[in-house]
Amino acid sequence: MSVTSPVSTTAVQATGIWKVFNEGQANEVTALQDINLTVAPGEFISLIGPSGCGKSTLLRVIADLTQPTKGSAEVAGMSAAEARKQQRYGMAFQQAALFDWRTVQRNVELPLELQGWSKSDRAARAMELLEMVQLADFASHRPWELSGGMQQRVAIARSLAVDPPLLLMDEPFGALDEMTRERMQNELLRIRQETGKSVIFVTHSIPEAVYLSDRVVVMSPRPGRITDIVSVSLGERDEDTREADAFYASVTEVREALRGRTSGGAARARVGEV
Amino acid sequence: MNGRLRAVWPPVIIAVIFLAAWQLLVVVQDIKPFLLPSPSLILGNFFGDFSLMFNAALYTGTTAILGLMFGTVVGLVTALIAQRFGVVNKLITPLAAGLATVPIIALTPILNNMFSITSRTPKVIITMIIVFFPIFVNVTRGLIQVQPVQLELMRSMNARPRTVLRQLRIPNAIPFFFTAMKIAAPLSVIAALVSEYFGGPQQGLGSRIASSAANTAYGRAWAYVVASIITGLIFYLIVLAVERWAAPWTGRARSA
Q: A234: domain range? A: 45-84+201-263
Across the interface, which of B158, B167, B252 has its CB nearest the CB of A84?
B158
Q: Whole-angstrom Cα distance, residue B236 to residue A61?
A: 49
pLDDT digits (tens, 9 = 90+) for A46-74: 999 998 899 999 999 999 999 999 999 99
A175: nearest CA in chain B?
B256
CATH code assigned at A256: 3.40.50.300
Residue A31 domain-assigned? no
CATH code assigned at B195: 1.10.3720.10
Across the interface, which of A90, A99, A151 has its CB nearest the CB of B256?
A151
Largest CA distance in chain A: 60
Residue B203 domain-assigned? yes
Residue B16 domain-assigned? no
pLDDT of residue B256: 42
Percent of chain B with pLDDT over 90: 60
Higher pLDDT, A41 or B33: A41
Across the interface, which of A97, A113, A114 has its CB nearest the CB of B149?
A97
Residue B148 has pLDDT above 50, yes or no: yes
Q: Does B162 touch chain A (CB under 8 A)?
A: no
Residue A220 domain-assigned? yes
- DSSP 8-state assignment for residue B169: I
Q: Round the CA-based radius of gyration of chain B to a whole number and report it.
A: 22
Q: Whole-angstrom Cα distance, residue B39 to residue B147?
A: 51
Question: Phi/psi at A120 (nearest 5 deg)?
Answer: -70, -40
Q: B194: domain range? A: 44-246
Say if strands A215-220 and A44-48 run parallel, antiparallel, or are unpaired: parallel
Where do the DSSP E strands lie in chain B? none
Instruction: Provide the domain count of chain B.
Output: 1
CA B77 to chain centre: 19
Residue B17 domain-assigned? no
**Cβ-defined contact of B253 to A89 (cutoff 8 Å):** no
Residue B75 has pLDDT above 80, yes or no: yes
Helices (H), A115-202: 119-132, 148-159, 178-195
Across the interface, which of B150, B159, B174 has its CB nearest the CB of A114?
B159
| Set of chain A residues whose Cβ sits within 8 Å of the Cβ of B152 | 65, 91, 93
Q: How many CA atoms lie within 13 A of B140 on its CB side?
A: 23
The ipTM estimated for the assembled molecules is: 0.86
Which residues pair with residue A231 across a beta bridge? A215
**Cβ-defined contact of B249 to A146 (cutoff 8 Å):** no
**Using an 8 Å Cβ cutoff, are A143 and A100 in contact?**
yes
Q: Does B256 touch chain A (CB under 8 A)?
A: yes
**Using an 8 Å Cβ cutoff, are A229 and A270 in contact?**
yes
What pTM value is reported for the model? 0.83
Q: Does B171 touch chain A (CB under 8 A)?
A: yes
Residue B191 domain-assigned? yes
Q: Whole-angstrom Cα distance, residue A156 to residue A151?
A: 9
Residue A7 has pLDDT above 60, yes or no: no
Decide: helix, strand or coil at residue B33.
Answer: coil
Test the B interface: residue of A56, A78, A93, A177 with most B CBs within 10 Å: A93
Burial class (CB in 10 A: 0-12, 13-18, 19+), A265: exposed
**Cβ-defined contact of B156 to A143 (cutoff 8 Å):** no
Identity of residue B59? Y
Residue B18 domain-assigned? no
pLDDT digits (tens, 9 = 90+) for A72-125: 999 998 999 999 999 999 999 999 999 999 999 999 999 999 999 999 999 999
Decide: helix, strand or coil at residue B176.
Answer: helix
Instruction: Provide the domain count of chain A.
Output: 1
Residue A110 domain-assigned? no
- DSSP 8-state assignment for residue B182: H
* B198 band by pLDDT with thresholds 50, 70 and 90: confident
pLDDT digits (tens, 9 = 90+) for A221-237: 888 999 999 999 888 88
Say if strands A166-170 and A198-203 run parallel, antiparallel, or are unpaired: parallel
Q: Does B246 touch chain A (CB under 8 A)?
A: no
